[in-house]
């Protein structure tokens, strides 16, 4: 599988180009801006963009979605639990004093256990709420596009609208940490890592595992 990343926007968000080299089908994941540069990456890897996968509908992960839709006509996919968040994109922008993006349209709403096919690749939808109400990770083999859940040495915030620490602890400890240790985590911010590395060294994960044990 091809996985390329580009850091975009004021919050240094990771947008991804992923694809199947055998068929040339590709997807943008969380295109938060610099869409032209993302499409240049896809072109260099000889990928045609047929899908846009969104892990969650926070401003920094969706700012470039509408532009990407216009340029690619790709099917746009979002977890159904993020419906209210994407509908309130303008409110999100005004709340934080950010530019209001064009409102994207969603073609396909996904839920836990759904499979998104991209050429010969299959991405399993893992719903991991807590950072946002319907946040998803897209898992393909030993690669996980994790959005703002698990990160290298850190985890996502839970103090934004729609966040829940209790849900997040369950998402991290019962779902993300249930993936094989050699699963490569490609997060929404910061460098890629592995489940095993974070299980051993991430102070937030260690505290969450302890919190779960105290329940």
Summarize pLDDT for 11-27 with one digit per residue, the tens.
999 999 999 999 999 99
User: What's the pLDDT at 24?
Assistant: 98
CA 1 to chain CA centroid, Å, is 17
User: What's the pLDDT at 121?
Assistant: 98
pTM: 0.95
Residue 113: pLDDT band (50, 70, 90) is very high
Angstrom CA distances, 14 to 17, 57, 165, stand at: 10, 14, 23
Q: Structural domain tally of the chain?
A: 1
- How far is 175 from 126, CA to CA, in rounded Å? 8
User: What's the pLDDT at 161?
Assistant: 85
Nearest CA among 154, 175, 170 for reference residue 211: 170
Domain that holds residue 75: 2-214
Section 70-79 average pLDDT: 98
Contact partners, residue 170, CB within 8 Å, separation at least 6: 130, 212
- How far is 32 from 179, CA to CA, in rounded Å? 27
User: What's the pLDDT at 212?
Assistant: 76
Residue 96: pLDDT band (50, 70, 90) is confident
Section 102-119 average pLDDT: 97
- How far is 111 from 160, CA to CA, in rounded Å? 22
- Give the pLDDT confidence of 128-166 residue by residue, as tens digits: 999 999 999 999 999 999 999 999 999 999 998 889 999
Section 121-125 average pLDDT: 98
User: What's the pLDDT at 214?
Assistant: 53
Section 100-105 average pLDDT: 94
Q: What is the CATH number of the domain that holds 123?
A: 3.60.15.10
């Amino acid at each position: 599988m091809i996985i390329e990343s580009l850091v975009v926007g004021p919050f240094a968000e990771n947008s991804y180009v992923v694809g199947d080299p055998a068929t040339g089908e590709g997807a943008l994941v969380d295109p938060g801006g610099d869409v032209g540069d993302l499409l240049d990456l896809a072109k260099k890897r000889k990928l045609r963009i047929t899908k846009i996968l969104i892990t969650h509908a926070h401003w920094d992960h969706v700012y470039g979605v509408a532009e990407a839709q216009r340029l690619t006509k790709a099917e746009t996919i979002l977890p159904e639990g993020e419906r209210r968040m994407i509908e309130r994109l303008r409110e999100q922008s005004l709340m934080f004093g950010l530019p209001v993006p064009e409102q994207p349209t969603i073609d396909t709403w996904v839920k836990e256990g759904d499979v998104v096919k991209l050429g010969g690749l299959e991405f399993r939808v893992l719903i991991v709420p807590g950072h946002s109400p319907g946040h998803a990770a897209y898992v393909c083999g030993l690669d996980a596009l994790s959005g703002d859940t698990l990160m290298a040495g850190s985890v996502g915030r839970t103090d934004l609208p729609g966040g829940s620490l209790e849900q997040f602890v369950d998402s991290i400890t019962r779902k993300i940490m249930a993936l094989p240790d050699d699963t490569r985590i490609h997060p929404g911010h910061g460098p890629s890592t592995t489940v095993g590395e974070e299980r051993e060294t991430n102070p937030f994960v260690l505290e969450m595992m302890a919190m779960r044990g105290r329940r």
